[in-house]
Amino acid sequence: MAATVFILNGPNLNLLGERRPEIYGHETLGDIEARARERALALDLEIDFRQSNHEGALIDAVHDARGKAAAVIVNAGGLTHTSVALLDALDAFDGVVVEVHLSNIHRRAAFRRRSYVAQAAQGSICGFGGHGYVLALDAVHDLLERPSR
């Protein structure tokens, strides 16, 4: 049976494609979801793709992943840099966690360089736009196939 991967997106990611293309690219979140679905199909992974502007809803989604998903890919948006509560929820998830950002957060303002999410993640991918989600699915697939890595 195909393993399930939750792909969780935080605040303002629903606005992608409308503003700030110089930072976040021209793709909408729908375009990114379509790309992720295509890759997941090729990797024989099932995906549950969600976006919320609410911290509690994202935490609930991580709780929901417990017992349902083998991995969580998370772009927590601005909550990346602030949310100890989301970090705690990810810490309570037993499977693989991969952090994704469209932009290279290390080349931006200093406050964006700190990521709470990173502390719960096996790895982080940033700076590759929507392609980062495809790279994250490849990483999840690899980690699930070879758990010792």
One of 51, 52, 80, 83 touching ligand CA2 (CB under 6 A): 80
Given 26, 63, 81, 101, which residue is catalytic? 101
One of 46, 64, 78, 122 touching ligand CA2 (CB under 6 A): 78
Q: Could you give phi then psi for residue 92, rounded to 5 degrees? A: -85, 0
Q: Which region among 15-23, 45-53, 58-66, 90-98 touches ligand CA2 (by CB under 6 A)?
A: 15-23
106 is annotated as an active-site residue? no
* Max intra-chain CA distance, the chain: 43
Q: Which region among 37-45, 55-63, 66-74, 102-110 touches ligand CA2 (by CB under 6 A)?
A: 102-110
Q: In the block, which residue shows the tokens 């100890």?
A: 84
> How many CB atoms within 10 Å of residue 130?
22
Q: Is 141 exposed, middle or buried (0-12, 13-18, 19+ CB in 10 A)?
A: buried
Given 24, 116, 133, 141, which residue is catalytic? 24
Q: Is 24 a residue that touches ligand CA2 (CB under 6 A)?
A: yes
Residue burial 39-64, b: 16+ Cβ < 10 Å; e: rest:
bbeebebebebbbbeebeebbebbee
One of 3, 105, 140, 143 touching ligand CA2 (CB under 6 A): 105
Residues annotated catalytic, as ranges: 24, 101
Residue ranges in contact with ligand CA2 by CB under 6 A: 12-13, 15-16, 19-20, 24, 75, 77-78, 80, 101-103, 105, 112
